[in-house]
Structure 1
Amino acid sequence: MFVKTVIYVDSVEEVLDFYYQAFGLSTCDMTDDGDYGELDTGEVKLAFASHPLAQSQFKQDYIRCHPKQPALGFEITLSCVNVPECYDKAVEAGAEPLSAPSQKGSVTQAYVRAIEGTLVALVSKISTNE
């Protein structure tokens, strides 16, 4: 069973605050030393840990990702009721706008890059009852 995704970052506290400001995701767990924190995202958690914590665990098998480097080959997807509103809120909170909201079939989608460099897809199903 898939339990969580952990993304390694410079400042766990700063990134948790960004995800709250941008997407309304609340912190549900954080270590006293601030090296690890989780967001309340439902069954599968989205967690962040500090680069020093990763380096201590993985030694030479860890390559640090920097927010200004090209994005790594993955994204996280968040469901939104109103994608344009969510997109604007994320950009206001400091996300880099990548792809403005657009309709693709029955889904509205947009893309931003979070402050730590993660690609974030924002998606919402379009109601056919209107």
Structure 2
Amino acid sequence: MIVTGSTQTRCENTSRLIKIYDNKGDILNLITNRFDLSAKDIADMYKSRWAIELFFKWIKQHLNIKTFYGRSEQAVHNQIYAELITYCLHVLIHLETNSKKTYLRITRLLKASLWDSPRVWISAIQGKSVP
């Protein structure tokens, strides 16, 4: 059990300090007010939460979602599904064309030649001129 804060700003409630090891063997200090759970349960909850945080980081970096257009759960699901499908199609295009271009570059090429024939944007992705 620990008390957090300085002598002037001391927290009224006591907390619990749990030390766990991450995958690299480094010590992580977790502070919690949950005294009813075992240290292993709290460590498992933290690891699960961290996996969720990494998933959201991946979504922000790879999917083109800046804002949600709807507020309902179904609208958010639909928008995420649409962006996941778009991302998967871009990955398939990248694999099928054996392109060395980045995902961002391929996305820009596709946007620039959206209304052209597929032959035009495939050639652009592959770095070839259109015959």
TM-score of Structure 1 vs Structure 2, range by shorter chain: under 0.3
**What is the TM-score of this pair, normalised by structure 2?**
0.21
More helix by percentage: 2
**What is the TM-score of this pair, normalised by structure 1?**
0.21
More strand by percentage: 1
RCO higher in 1 or 2 (8 Å CA, sep ≥ 6)?
A: 1
